[in-house]
A and B are shown apart, each in its own frame.
Chain A
Amino acid sequence: MKRWPVMKRLLPLLTGLVLLLTACGREDLSTLNPQGPVAEKQFELMKLSIGIMALVVVVVFAICIYVLIRFRRKKGDKAIPEQVEGNHKLEVIWTVIPIVLLLILGVPTIQQVFGLAKDYSKDKDAVQVKVTAHQYWWEFEYTDYGITTAQDLIVPTGKKISFELAAADVKHSFWIPSIGGKMDTNPGSTNRMFLEFPKEGVFRGKCAELCGPSHALMDFKAKAVSQESFDRWVAAMKAPAVMPADAELAEKFTSMCLSCHAVGENGGNSAPNLTGIGGRETVGGFLFNDEGGGAEQHLKDWITDPQGIKKGAMMPGAEDTGLTEEEIAGIAKYLAEYKLDY
């Protein structure tokens, strides 16, 4: 009977599934390894639902396997089995039990739907962050502090972070898997969500709504630090801009870059804020600064040809800006050394 070997493989796979769910995946990335209360509550629901469903699957599989072995037709058997119309009692059982199981899942679901929808936008103790998603980068504005940064979301531990989510162009979705579930950013309206970061660390963020050719490259980072460190960061962000030491380079930097970008109080706001960019985890959201030549190399590559790295990025490349190789090298070095102390 050819069915058995496949079942033999599938069943352990399934039971292993439930076991697999405990503490699985990276701390900075996995929904199965929650690092904050929001993700934890969602993980509880996940475990509950998969536990209930595993039960259903086991029952169905057990009946299925039994039936296929016990009632398989013997060769040449012409007998007609008894034609059974149905069984009222069984119908009631397999209607009522699923309803009960759904109630068990439904109650905590409703509790969390309302619990996770709490609005902390008026809460004095919460940190208010306005997130604006762009093709293909993330802007973070701290409305209470009057500062704006990009790509790395710095937050203090132990506080509710209240997000106002917006989109500058198309729909995106803001997601930090190990900290909590996602919420879409809709053009023309704002969404509200809260997260909490009890532990310090760097957590990976992803865009979770198809937004164009570089949707896959729209990662960001959430960096949770102590309250004191956060306060120092805010102060550092508010400090006067550090410009390139060389006057000519500073002039070039201002004219070519600061029409869209900003450092400190200088510049525009249609492109990622560059204050302290040298100290960020990545360039462009996904080129990690601790590999591939570091921030300076990444910045050089990016400024030379942003389209080659992230197709559809708004930023013009060297061909259009006319920046020379030395100028690019100079700006890259300046930016790579622009680190905030916190």
Chain B
Amino acid sequence: MDWLTTVDHKKIGILYFIAGFFFFLIGGLEAIIIRIQLLKPMNDVVAGDTFNELITMHGTTMIFLAAMPLLFALMNAVIPLQIGARDVAFPFLNSLGFWTFFFGGVLLNLSWFAGAVPDAGWTSYVPLAGSIYSSGHGVDYYVLGLQIAGIGTLLGGINFMATIINMRAPGLTFMRLPMFTWAIFITSALIVFAFPALTVGLVALMFDRLFNANFFDVANGGNGVLWEHIFWVFGHPEVYILIVPAFGIISEVVSTFSRKRLFGYSSMVFATVLIAFLGFMVWAHHMFTTGLGPVANGLFSIATMLIAVPTGVKIFNWLFTLWGGSIRFNTASLFAIGFIPTFVMGGVTGVMLASAPADYQYHDTYFVVAHFHYVIVGGLILGIFSGLHYWWPKMFGRLLNETLGQITFWTFFIGFHLTFFVQHFLGLLGMPRRVYTYLGGQGYDDMNFISTIGAILMGIGTIAFLINVFVTWAKPRNASNDPWEDGRSLEWTIPSPPPEYNFKQTPLVRGYDAWWKEKMEGKTAMTPAEPVGSIHMPSPSILPFIMSVGLFIAGFGFMYDQLIVAGVGLAITLGCMVVRSLIDDHGFHIEPEEQDKGVQA
């Protein structure tokens, strides 16, 4: 019951991790089936329509229900600790964000059981995704599932921006923030300004499908290319939402495990801001073959190439952080070190794709599939694994097993390259993407075979991690405050896991790498910025859970043309909002005597 009503960012972080990893396994299973179907030419493990459902669900689940929640898990677990705060700015909204994501994800995946699975790709282009050519309910699950889940993400973005702006410990100026906090701050801004575009796109598609609107219905004056614009205005910043947190994680891990401060901190901050800003100006590079004309294609080509510059700056700054350092290899740092060359490979194919005339060949082929898996899996997922292993002791009070961790890393890393490196060539040799099979004798057979073997290896690596999680769960909770011994930022100054209130006394920050600075001056703890006192905490609430259930019900009501059900669902949600507004929540206090007893989260 505690887990249903919690507003504690640490618990919410764990909830995001469990749910995110659960969806990661589902998305992974979908991927394995896809690869088994593509193992050999004209294979018949699944038919074309099921295959299209698999690729749609794989992409949608992995991006929205696995990658983003796993990032939110780390954001929640770490950010308040890194800034010396006791929770986020809006703990209630934090919980609401989780439950809407969860129920949105459940709604989307219930499509498998309803026998109406979306099958127009994660990009859901119209008219294929419109009511004429997708007459079943499949795409409705996509629209409503994402709409509900997207609310949660938007709330999360607002929450973390406000938290980082308003709740930093005394002395923690912006240019003293840990790089992960900067990354999350920038990511949150991306979320706040990118997700509403998706909201409108989904509303328009929903209105077309359910209420006979004509946004995208060509026969009535609608325009399918409009969907592409709206989707990618969201979709491109979305991929930066995915990767910027990983950049932050790499900065932390590389710095800690080379015992050196981050090289070029201000350049890193500036580069990340520039990447995010430019990320809003390049969306049409996903539409080079749509026929926008040479002026548009030319401008978007150049803008896209420009993003390579700040990205390169970051790569070199990481390398020069390692340079001259004392590098310790463990699972966390191996994942971060593996990230660097892998992400660079993904980034350079990105620059290749940026050249529009060349992209006329690459677009919609396996070359693109290779590129984005290199940056998302080879970038983001390696980053997430790194962050999970790094912050695991802080979240759970135990270190993950190192042997199992190395098995995870090597199988996943090698499996990843086997799966996706050959796909670059498949695309160049003429293999389009989203094809459920291919003819023999075109030169695709061997590489597809290798790719499938790689995917199975990645699955094994994932299972190794899962085993690691279970094996570790049984161990005693005896990690120290600073188990890596070289922690540089504030989260390593408090117990692992932290007490419910995080900091008994808000710390005073005297410089960048606040904890490292104190350690180098011989101190064994942070200087407090306030006396011991009564700590004000936010109260738990069941309302976020109920509000999400309301939206879930409304989703089904809209989908199946039961407008009364939809109305009831919305009324539940709105009713909870009214209750929340009318009944003031003043929180509760933890007194000094209870603090000394060690109130466990």
* Chain A residues in the interface with B (C-beta under 8 A): 1-3, 6, 10, 13, 20-21, 24-26, 29-32, 39, 41-43, 45-46, 49-50, 52-54, 56-57, 60-61, 63-64, 67-68, 71-73, 77, 79-87, 90-91, 94-95, 98-99, 102, 105-106, 109-110, 112-114, 116-117, 165, 169-171, 173, 175, 177-178, 180-184, 186-189, 191-192, 204, 206-217, 219, 286, 311-312
The answer to whether B430 and A25 touch across the interface, beta carbons within 8 angstroms, is yes
Given A63-B319, A181-B361, the answer on whether A71 and B326 have CB atoms closer than 8 Å is: yes
Which residue on B lies nearest to A209, using beta carbons?
A: B364
The answer to whether A31 and B361 touch across the interface, beta carbons within 8 angstroms, is yes
- The residues of B that contact A210 with a CB separation of less than 8 Å are 52, 120-121, 125, 128, 433-434
Which residue on A lies nearest to B291, using beta carbons?
A: A191
17 A-B pairs besides A26-B429, A26-B430 with CB distance below 8 A are A10-B417, A20-B425, A56-B348, A57-B345, A63-B319, A64-B340, A72-B329, A73-B329, A90-B316, A91-B264, A98-B308, A106-B301, A173-B289, A210-B120, A210-B125, A216-B438, A286-B439
Which residue on A lies nearest to B287, using beta carbons?
A: A184
The answer to whether A116 and B357 touch across the interface, beta carbons within 8 angstroms, is yes
CB distance from A282 to the nearest CB of B (A): 10
Q: How far is the CA of A110 from the CA of B301 in the complex (A)?
A: 8
Is residue B344 contacting chain A, with contact meaning CB distance below 8 A?
Answer: yes
Q: How far is the CA of A91 from the CA of B410 in the complex (A)?
A: 33
Is residue B305 contacting chain A, with contact meaning CB distance below 8 A?
Answer: yes
Q: Which of B410-454 contact A (CB under 8 A)?
A: 410, 413-414, 417, 421, 425, 428-430, 432-439, 442-443
The answer to whether A84 and B261 touch across the interface, beta carbons within 8 angstroms, is yes
Q: How far is the CA of A72 from the CA of B329 in the complex (A)?
A: 8
Q: How far is the CA of A295 from the CA of B526 in the complex (A)?
A: 82
The answer to whether B428 and A30 touch across the interface, beta carbons within 8 angstroms, is yes
Can you report 17 residue pairs joining A to B where beta carbons are below 8 Å apart?
Answer: A3-B329, A3-B337, A25-B430, A30-B429, A31-B361, A60-B319, A86-B266, A86-B317, A95-B309, A95-B312, A113-B298, A184-B289, A207-B432, A212-B128, A213-B51, A216-B436, A217-B48
- The residues of A that contact B49 with a CB separation of less than 8 Å are 213, 311-312
Identify which of B4-12, B27-35, B218-226, B276-284 touches chain A: B218-226
Which residue on A lies nearest to B337, using beta carbons?
A: A68
Interface centre among A29, A183, A210 (most CB of B within 10 A): A210
Is residue B325 contacting chain A, with contact meaning CB distance below 8 A?
Answer: yes
Given A71-B322, A86-B267, A90-B320, the answer on whether A98 and B309 have CB atoms closer than 8 Å is: yes
Given A83-B260, A210-B52, the answer on whether A169 and B323 have CB atoms closer than 8 Å is: no
The answer to whether A50 and B294 touch across the interface, beta carbons within 8 angstroms, is no
Cross-interface CB contact of A215 among B223, B298, B435, cutoff 8 Å: B435
- The residues of A that contact B323 with a CB separation of less than 8 Å are 63, 67, 71
The answer to whether A215 and B357 touch across the interface, beta carbons within 8 angstroms, is no
The answer to whether A188 and B265 touch across the interface, beta carbons within 8 angstroms, is no
Is residue B355 contacting chain A, with contact meaning CB distance below 8 A?
Answer: yes
The answer to whether B302 and A206 touch across the interface, beta carbons within 8 angstroms, is no
Q: Which of B376-414 contact A (CB under 8 A)?
A: 410, 413-414
The answer to whether A71 and B327 touch across the interface, beta carbons within 8 angstroms, is yes
CB distance from A96 to the nearest CB of B (A): 9
- The residues of B that contact A207 with a CB separation of less than 8 Å are 432
Which residue on B lies nearest to A216, using beta carbons?
A: B435
Given A61-B341, A181-B289, A210-B128, the answer on whether A188 and B326 have CB atoms closer than 8 Å is: no
Given A50-B352, A57-B348, A71-B324, the answer on whether A186 and B48 have CB atoms closer than 8 Å is: no
Cross-interface CB contact of B313 among A52, A54, A94, cutoff 8 Å: A94
- The residues of B that contact A10 with a CB separation of less than 8 Å are 341, 417
CB distance from B484 to the nearest CB of A (A): 12
